[in-house]
């Protein structure tokens, strides 16, 4: 089976339907086309995480780490204890990949 997408359907949506599909696609971190394709082929799309919320949280963590690095390089702080942060991120990482692995098997 080829992955080349050379066939198209033209489908019209109401404004409400269009925004709903766009929002669901965003939550699933998929383009609207990929979201519609996945929903049509699987019968449904299970969004296991709100991708935008996760991305926001990871960006905030990255910003905080960058600020700590700047302060350390300026000599304003000497020691930062990140063991708990590392443990929490490791748990998040493990949980995320367990969910995505479970979704892939369905």
Ramachandran class of 43: left when φ > 0, alpha when ψ lies in -120 to 50, beta otherwise? left
% of residues, the chain, pLDDT over 70: 84
CB 76 within 8 Å of CB 16 = no
- CA 63 – CA 41 distance, rounded (Å): 39
What is the 8-class DSSP label of residue 78? S
Work out whether the CA dihedral 9, 24, 58, 87 comes out positive or negative: negative
The yes-or-no verdict on residue 17 having pLDDT over 90 is: yes
pLDDT(45) > 90: no
Residue 12 has pLDDT above 90, yes or no: yes
For 13-17, 33-37, 72-76, 84-88, which range has the lowest pLDDT when averaged over its residues?
Answer: 84-88
Q: Are 51 and 28 in contact (CB under 8 A)?
A: yes
5-9, 16-20, 21-25, 97-101: the lowest-pLDDT one: 97-101
């Amino acid at each position: 089976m080829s992955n080349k997408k050379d066939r198209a359907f033209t489908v019209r949506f109401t404004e409400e339907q269009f925004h709903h599909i766009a929002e669901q696609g965003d939550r699933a971190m998929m383009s609207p086309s990929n979201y519609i394709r996945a929903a049509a082929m699987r019968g449904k799309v299970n969004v296991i995480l709100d991708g935008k919320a996760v991305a926001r949280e990871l960006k905030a963590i990255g910003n905080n780490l960058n600020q700590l690095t700047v302060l350390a390089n300026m000599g304003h702080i000497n020691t930062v204890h990140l063991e708990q942060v590392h443990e929490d991120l490791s748990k998040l990482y493990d949980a995320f990949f367990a969910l995505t692995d479970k979704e892939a098997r369905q």
